[in-house]
Structure 1
């Protein structure tokens, strides 16, 4: 028998291991006229990687009506068209929703609190 290996402590680096059940994507709305156009991160279940599910989750998170999405672009210049395209996406890839209507007031819908991801009704009722 050789020497017993020394205990190696695990240091927390601030990075969490990726959940293998979810695909994390960065999504934003294409807005060439606005200065700030930050991405948000969305999660898709890897068992349901379809174009329809990507469109549904992206629109819900961004508060956009799916009927106003002309196309989904994988940056810098690739249009997503079908389920196989979505299945090839990798974690943290950047996507843009290209909208058909130019009047932004008709496109955006502010989701109610209960529709927003991460909303916890029980936590909102707590009193301190």
Structure 2
């Protein structure tokens, strides 16, 4: 039996805008949790950055996401980029921790073999 539509989640692919790093991570959000603030919080937690550092959220290639309605239109694997505030510099110089150093990291999942 199919699940009700409101229980099905979206899986945007998220990354930090960085000319040296092009990789995305997938995050899962339940349909009823699709909001600008929730996308921001989950993305920042997974990427190991503070939400206060995010200046903009962009759906690639060139659309700014500004409100909950914009977030609800996202579909699975759409690419979303967090644009961070620059501290008087044109380059991101702050250290971004590896996946194993982030508080959201699941060490049990990392040891799984397929």
TM-score w.r.t. length of structure 2? 0.75
Instruction: Give aligned pairs, total.
Output: 101
Equivalent position to 1:56, from 21, 41, 46 = 41
* 2:3 alignment counterpart: none
Native 8 Å contact 1:113 1:119 kept in 2: no
CA RMSD, 1 decimal: 2.6
Runs of at least 5 residues in structure 2 that lack an aligned partner in the other structure: 1-6
Find the aligned partners of 2:40 and 2:98 in 1 and give their Cα distance.
17
Runs of at least 5 residues in structure 1 that lack an aligned partner in the other structure: 1-19
1:39 aligns with 2:27: no
Would you identify which runs of 4 or more consecutive aligned residues in structure 1 move more than 4 Å? 109-114
Considering only CA atoms, is the larger Rg found in Structure 1 or Structure 2? 1
Per-residue deviation at 1:76?
Answer: 0.4
Per-residue deviation at 1:22?
Answer: 1.7
RCO comparison, higher one (Cα < 8 Å, 6+): 2
TM-score w.r.t. length of structure 1? 0.67
